Amino acid sequence: MDRPVIGMCTALEPARWSVWDQPAVLLARSYVDAVQRAGGLAVLLPPDSQLVQEPAQALELIDGLLLAGGADIDPASYGQPAHAETQDSVPERDAFEIALTRAAIDLDLPVLGICRGMQLINIALGGTLTQHLPEHLGHQEHRRVVGSFDGSDHDVDVADGTLAGRVVGAARHGTKSHHHQGVDRLGDGLRVSATSPFDGLIEAVELPQRAFVLGVQWHPEADVMSPVVGGLVEAADARAHSRKAAL
């Protein structure tokens, strides 16, 4: 049986393997495992400067788009100077993913943004970010241990009647978080569909005008019990079958 193809944008990072120490395009295996567990075929999409101008060529090859976590997004992409705590931005990746996201939304292709990916959806639709949450919230509860999900669990409140609610199937949902930035001004057309119960931080956004555009601030790929990546794969599968039936 054909599996829906999920395109996953990769990071550009220095990496070491075997005897090599080189720049690499990479993605944590947990994202691939989550897509495969849900029945999807995972395909990696490295930044491509030509696709920034013509992203449809890549989107024609996939049934759903997953925007992964990673480095802070360059604040220049949403018209702000960089905060001292905004680090490791890769403008080449940002430009590629913003172009891909806007084109995917135009095509009504299912899109899931995870952590940085949720923030990128917001920026692609004209929103902005708070660049260092501890400065505004007075605590570090959203990234307790840098580089680890140890002790990262916390609940989010999910709004009734939303895509996020249908995907997670509960009004309060357990998550794993690791971020120091968050949504500030909401992008055009987006709806807030989950918040943190202890500080009100936006934890999920979605675009009601499309079949499946969802951003979650937490990391469902780090939780084998999470239904979130499965929701993307299911939506991508439905779109793939619909397209085949129309041929």
Is 115 among the residues known to form the active site? yes
Report, as an integer, the average pLDDT of 83-111. 96
Class for the domain spanning 5-246 = alpha beta
Residue 132 reports pLDDT greater than 90: no
Share of the chain above pLDDT 90, in %: 83
- Considering 9, 97, 115, 179, which one is annotated as catalytic? 115
Assessment of whether the complete model's pTM goes beyond 0.85: yes
Active-site residue, from 203, 206, 221, 234: 221
Domain boundaries, the chain: 5-246
> What is the residue-wise DSSP string for the chain?
-PPPEEEEEPEEEEEEETTEEEEEEE--HHHHHHHHHTT-EEEEE---HHHHH-THHHHTT-SEEEE---SPPPGGGGT-PPPTT-----HHHHHHHHHHHHHHHHTT--EEEETHHHHHHHHHTT--EES-HHHHHS--TTSSSTT--TT-EEEEEE-TTSHHHHHH-SSEEEEE---S-EE-SPPTT-EEEEE-TTT--EEEEE-TTSSSEEEESS-GGG-TT--HHHHHHHHHHHHHHHHHHH-
Summarised one tens digit per residue, pLDDT across range 73-95 is 999 999 999 999 998 999 999 99
pLDDT in tens, 18-58: 999 999 999 999 999 999 999 999 999 999 999 999 999 99
Would residue 219 show up in a list of annotated catalytic residues for this protein?
Answer: yes
Candidates 173, 179, 180, 219; catalytic one: 219
